[in-house]
Structure 1
Amino acid sequence: MAITYKNGVAQTELAEWHNTGRQTIYSWFKRLDTDGSLEQAVTDTHQSGRKQNLSEK
């Protein structure tokens, strides 16, 4: 997706392709624009919130 954007496809069009909002696309690019590894950029960090309804099993 980032390569497609670098080749001139607008964020709005990428959002339509991925059935999401433009702000989500912007957030994804912001995560990629770090000094960390690509693996860190594409991995979600732990977030607090409601407990899961399903167990890991």
Structure 2
Amino acid sequence: MANGPWRKSSRSGGGSGSNCVEARLSDEGPQLSDSKLADDRPILEIGRSEYVGVLSAIKNDRLC
């Protein structure tokens, strides 16, 4: 499996703006990134259980 496509968070305001959180699956596991930094953005690699926890927190408005 190669790196999958980046997917934008629906909570990032939509549209063509560059201020969004993105996620993808890769050979190493789930990855998160902030697109507003373009090509210089850091890519955070996390474990699958942490990824599920982050998604749950976002969906339940537990992140500030």
Is TM more than 0.5 here? no
- Counting helix residues as a fraction of each chain, which structure ranks higher? 1
* Greater share of strand: 2
Computing the radius of gyration from Cα coordinates, the structure with the larger value is 1
Give the TM-score range, shorter chain. Answer: 0.3 to 0.5
